[in-house]
């Protein structure tokens, strides 16, 4: 599910770092914090399970003493020897710094069982690094949360994700899957087409722009017969192009209604340009969130085409049937597995390989998130070491959440020992 991000105002992510709380020591694990910062690291790996040997740095030695947690009766529990931290790992776009488990906010309280379905999806297409552990992940699907947590701590190592310039804080946005009404044929009130890829589309060079597709006879001829469905609102079509897929309730010519998914198939190979950025540059709005953009559109209906044509990029779709009588699975992400609402994220795959479990911490005015998620998707705007797009789910509520989500985050990858 290749998508784009609507909001465009930049955030100085480092300002919020002081607001992110540190987690107290876990009762089942003794830890020590090093008095010196760990050296930063990364694995070169734009694909899951890259076979290239990682570049490693020597780990920092743990401090000679550690604070012992209190036992249940108030006395000090005996501590086993602290194992040395592994080397830091070099990624193409980031560095992974080994840290103790106590650095992960919310590890004791997250409902890990809610993330397990996403993990099981990733294990249907495991990388080499995860092939031996995925059978154990499957066995733990019905285990208790404490058992799942214990397995994570015993089998994985937490690494803080940082940029090559030691920046720990990044940006979290969100995306969702729209649910829209549509008709199979053009009809009064439904005249905005969504297309399958045209026959002469060449994925190696730019095709017609959005404006050209709507105004030039040659482009319209090339698209004839490629109409999948018709929407009522051109803005909804733009939203579907940005999100990369959507559920549409289609009215067929015989009057029957049918829910189908329009999944990403291709693009016109034009660059993505943010309409929110254009509105800001024109001093037309101050709030470039989707609600702010929509409010401007409602006030300026005669300028809708002018606005939409600022983004020349168009997505072409393919229709996917859905199982009848059940809640449809999420759209497939770039890993090739269905996304799980609130437990899947899109990442820069040069920073975090697909299929990697990631601990996400984000604090802001909209939401506070401390949870396990899976890196299962990507997007053209999702670039950088500490950058994630949070899949909020399908429908209006998810869309409202996604439209306002823009806050700081920190990420930790959980990697096999």
Q: What is the CATH number of domain 177-321?
A: 2.40.240.50
Contact 162, 387 (CB under 8 A): no
DSSP secondary structure letter of residue 42:
B
The pLDDT, as a whole number, for residue 365 is: 86
pLDDT of residue 2: 60
Token pair for residue 222?
């090339």
> Beta 95-98 vs 56-57: how paired, if at all?
unpaired
**Measuring CA to CA, how many Å separate 299 from each of 193, 295, 310?**
24, 6, 18
The strand pair at 95-98 and 357-363 is best described as unpaired
How much is the pTM? 0.77
Question: In this structure, what DSSP letter does residue 233 have?
Answer: -
Amino acid 35: pLDDT: 36
Cβ atoms < 10 Å from Cβ of 124: 13
- Look at residue 1 in the predicted model and tell me its pLDDT: 65
The closest of 60, 61, 43 to 52, measured between CA atoms, is 43
| DSSP bridge pairs for 388 | 172, 347
What's residue 250's pLDDT? 97
For the chain, the structural domain boundaries read 177-321, 333-416
Q: Can you give the pLDDT of all 417 residues of the chain as single tens digits?
A: 666 554 444 344 333 333 333 333 343 333 333 333 333 333 333 333 333 334 445 444 444 444 444 444 444 445 456 578 899 999 999 999 999 999 999 999 999 999 999 999 999 999 999 999 999 999 999 999 999 999 999 999 999 999 999 999 999 999 999 999 999 999 999 999 999 999 989 777 899 999 999 999 999 999 999 999 999 999 999 999 999 999 999 999 999 999 999 999 999 999 999 999 999 999 999 988 888 999 999 999 999 999 999 999 999 999 999 987 778 899 999 999 999 999 999 999 999 999 999 999 999 988 999 999 999 999 888 999 999 999 999 999 999 999 999 999 999 999 999
CATH number for the domain whose boundaries are 333-416: 2.40.40.10
Residues 6+ apart with CB under 8 A from 288: 6, 7, 8, 9, 274, 276, 277, 279, 280
């Amino acid at each position: 599910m290749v998508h784009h991000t609507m909001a465009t105002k930049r955030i100085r992510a480092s300002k919020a770092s002081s607001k992110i709380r540190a987690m107290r020591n876990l009762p089942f694990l003794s830890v020590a914090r090093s008095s010196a910062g760990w050296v930063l690291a990364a694995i070169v790996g734009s694909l899951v399970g890259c076979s290239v040997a990682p570049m490693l740095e020597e780990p920092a030695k743990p401090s000679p003493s550690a604070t012992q947690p209190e036992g249940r009766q108030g006395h000090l529990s005996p501590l086993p020897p602290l194992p040395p931290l592994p080397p830091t790992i070099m990624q193409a776009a980031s560095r992974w710094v080994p840290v103790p488990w106590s650095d992960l906010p919310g590890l004791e309280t997250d409902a890990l069982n809610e993330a397990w379905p996403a993990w099981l999806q990733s294990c249907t297409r495991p990388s080499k690094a995860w092939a031996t552990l995925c059978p154990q992940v499957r066995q733990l699907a019905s285990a208790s949360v404490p058992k799942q947590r214990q397995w994570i701590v015993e089998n994985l190592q937490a690494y803080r994700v940082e940029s090559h310039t030691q920046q720990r804080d990044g940006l979290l946005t969100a995306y969702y899957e729209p649910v829209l009404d549509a008709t199979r044929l053009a009809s009064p009130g439904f005249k905005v087409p969504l297309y399958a890829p045209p026959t002469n589309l060449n994925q190696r060079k730019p095709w017609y722009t959005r404006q050209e597709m709507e105004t030039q006879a040659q482009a319209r001829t090339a698209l004839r017969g490629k109409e999948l469905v018709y929407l009522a609102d051109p803005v909804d079509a733009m939203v579907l192009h940005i999100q990369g897929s959507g559920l549409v309730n289609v009215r067929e010519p015989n009057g029957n209604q049918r829910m189908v998914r329009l999944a990403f198939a291709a693009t016109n190979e034009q660059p993505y340009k943010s309409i929110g950025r254009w509105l800001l540059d024109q001093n037309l709005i101050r709030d470039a969130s989707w609600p702010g953009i929509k409010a401007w559109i409602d006030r300026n209906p005669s300028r809708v085409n002018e606005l939409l044509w600022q983004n020349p990029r168009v997505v072409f779709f393919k229709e996917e049937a859905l199982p009848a009588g059940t809640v449809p699975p999420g759209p497939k992400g770039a890993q090739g597995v269905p996304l799980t609402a609130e437990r899947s994220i899109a990442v820069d795959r040069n920073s975090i390989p697909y299929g990697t479990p990631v601990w996400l911490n984000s604090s802001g005015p909209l939401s506070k998130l401390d949870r396990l998620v899976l890196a299962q998707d990507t997007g053209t705007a999702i670039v950088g070491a500490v950058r994630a797009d949070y899949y909020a789910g399908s429908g209006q509520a998810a869309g409202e959440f996604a439209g306002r989500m823009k806050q700081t985050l920190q990420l930790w990858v959980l990697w096999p020992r």
